[in-house]
Amino acid sequence: MIKNYFTNTATKYASKWLVLLIDILMVSLSFIMSYFILFNLTLNFDVDKLFLQLPVIAMISLIAFLIIGSYKGVVRHTGVRDVYNIFNAICLFSIITIVLVVANRKFMVVDAFTIPLTIIIIHSLLSFIGLTASRYIFKAFYHSLVLSGSYTTKNVLIYGAGESGIVTQSALTNNTKSRVKVIGYVDKDVQKVGKHINGIRVYGPEVLTEKFILQKDVSEVIFSIQNIDHINLRVLVESLVDFPVLVKIVPPVEDWINGELKLSQIKQVQIEDLLDRAPISIKNSKISDAVDGKVIVVTGGAGSIGSELVRQICTYNYKSLIVVDQAESALYDLQQELKQNGFHNFIPIVADIRDKNRMNTLFQDHQPHLVFHAAAYKHVPLMEYNAYEAIKINVAGTKVMCDLSMAFGVEKFIFVSTDKAVNPTNVMGATKRIAEMYISCMQQQGVTKFITTRFGNVLGSNGSVIPLFKKQIDKGGPLTVTHKDVTRYFMTIPEASQLVLEAGAMGEGGEIFIFDMGESVKIFDLAKNMIKLSGLKYPEDIDIKVTGLRPGEKLYEELLANGENTMPTYHKKIMISKARDLDFTTTRSKIDQLCVANMFFDMDTVKLMKKIVPEYISNNSDLCQLDLKSTKEEVSQEVASKATKRATPLHQ
């Protein structure tokens, strides 16, 4: 009966006035008990005076509670702050009582109100203990009676016995939506191991074994360490993915809502958390100086990289920001996002960079100082048999933007390229390499500073492998991998965009900036870890299907072309490629010829691309027949030689 009553009212909160009434009754009872204690549990005191004093004591406690507001806390969520408020209320109550008693003794206003000071001290202690204990007893009673039977109990381990871990434990146990039992902390600090925090034991990392997890019936391990680096996090998580547990992570303190951790913020560890790299500063003085008071154009501004460039530029003191994209819906979404975040000094423009007249008008109207060119077609399999479109946007579109930047005296033109432009094996990569070459040619004009940035795959970008794997897991699999040995470099979208801005700020023209992508990741291992992080087993729950390399796809990507080397910069993650020399006049002439041929749907455009980029050898594609055998053998030898050096970091 009692259980059903509490269960039916589980979602309701006790009235604060009811809590206030109970607190006053508790103080009154404590006052009576203090007399019994002082007089050795006998009635050897004036009982009539006691009952005359009780209403005054109740009134004083009412005043103290109203002033401090200790009755306003939600009893089921009683915490340290509530205890602190109770302490303040009791202190205020005691001070008022002592002042009244002393004044009454001096002026003898009411003889019945001559309370011994010892009684006041005992009463204060009893009241504080009683009010605090009653709240915690109710809290424990609520959790044990109401939540038992209504919710499933799950045992949780918290990795990290510091402040963040303690806050996490509090957030878990105070949650009314689920029944969670924290069975222990895990910490490598030997001074904490073996001790108890809030009655919960601290274990050493060595307990994280399958036997311990099964014995304790652990269903979740939550990482709550604020200063852990991603390499150590990856090692720890990978040691758990084979166990039957979900691995979750607590966000950084700065992401907590109003400084308080909410249960909804404790998320399951994502593969991005393991591939992520050390965070870098979003605001940089060199970038700030470069964009201060400038008119900036970002093409492809609604895409993965372009939109993040826009978000980061918005934090600086620029004059005007023009965001260009032909994707109307994506541009609208970005516009609404920026407005909601308080950014208004930007101009969204729906336009196609291939439309020279439209772009010419844009340059005339806004007279930009900086152009970040991120617009491109990027999907390798699609572009392999849509060479016309790939050339039109990636080469001709880039050419339009370069020519107009030169004509209107733009200070800097920053081009976002890709590692697929290095020794390209597909149409998309070849078009990006040709765009790089055209930019190098334009740099010789000596007016605008043309800068190229080159990096690998971006985590979470449109069409990238991780969102694809997530969708396949949601559908029950299988996950599709093109080859067991295929590897890729990864970088987060914010980091890639930050480094593009950094390279743009430091560039003096003519450089190809290479970003340090860290170690390459085996996609097959990536797929297995994503399955395990989802709480599933490979291959029992979800299998991985090898589909074969797609047209134009490589087993591995490179950041340097044959004949290139690197020089360091002041930023440890940015290097400058020492590209081989080009015959700029001949190269530019061939690129012009390619763009004209493409306008007339010339079927020989791919052949012309292979002449412009001799290292462009098609792979796993119908276009392989366009490669001369001798050229294949020559370039294959160079690529093989390059592959033997891939393990060497770029900055060495």
Domain boundaries, the chain: 2-146, 153-269, 285-458+490-517+558-643
- pLDDT band at residue 579, thresholds of 50, 70 and 90? low
Residue 489 has pLDDT above 80, yes or no: no
Residue 449 has pLDDT above 90, yes or no: yes
Per-residue pLDDT tens digits for 580-630: 677 888 999 999 999 999 888 877 899 999 999 998 998 888 888 888 554
Residue 109 has pLDDT above 70, yes or no: no
- Taking CA atoms, 622 is separated from 479, 570, 606, 625, in Å, by 26, 44, 12, 7
Per-residue pLDDT tens digits for 364-378: 999 999 999 999 998
Write the CATH number of the domain with boundaries 153-269. 3.40.50.720
Whether residue 325 contacts residue 481, with contact meaning beta carbons closer than 8 Å, is answered with no
Q: What is the pLDDT of residue 427?
A: 94
Q: Could you tell me if residue 40 is left (phi over 0), alpha (psi between -120 and 50 degrees) or otherwise beta?
A: left
Question: Do the domains 153-269 and 285-458+490-517+558-643 sit in the same CATH topology, yes or no?
Answer: yes
Q: What is the pLDDT of residue 321?
A: 95
- pLDDT band at residue 462, thresholds of 50, 70 and 90? low
Per-residue pLDDT tens digits for 224-268: 887 776 677 777 887 787 787 888 888 777 667 665 677 667 777
- Average pLDDT (418-428) is 89
Catalytic residue among 294, 392, 399, 420: 420
Q: How far is CA 450 from the centre of its chain?
A: 32
The CATH class given to the 285-458+490-517+558-643 domain equals: alpha beta
Per-residue pLDDT tens digits for 140-198: 776 666 555 545 578 899 998 888 888 888 888 766 566 788 889 999 888 899 898 88
Q: What is the DSSP code (8-state) at residue 627?
A: S
- pLDDT band at residue 39, thresholds of 50, 70 and 90? confident
- Active site includes 420? yes
* Mean pLDDT over each residue of the chain, to the nearest integer: 81
Q: Map tokens 């006053």 to a residue.
A: 24
Q: What is the pLDDT of residue 6?
A: 42
- pLDDT band at residue 2, thresholds of 50, 70 and 90? very low
- Taking CA atoms, 224 is separated from 165, 213, 275, 295, 459, in Å, by 5, 18, 18, 43, 24
Per-residue pLDDT tens digits for 326-381: 999 999 999 999 999 888 889 999 999 999 999 999 999 999 999 999 999 988 88
Whether residue 546 contacts residue 611, with contact meaning beta carbons closer than 8 Å, is answered with no
- pLDDT band at residue 299, thresholds of 50, 70 and 90? very high
State what percent of residues in the chain have pLDDT above 90: 27
Least confident range of 107-111, 118-122, 558-562: 558-562
Q: What is the pLDDT of residue 414?
A: 95
Residue 31 has pLDDT above 80, yes or no: yes
- Taking CA atoms, 553 is separated from 293, 394, 492, 556, 638, in Å, by 43, 18, 22, 9, 18
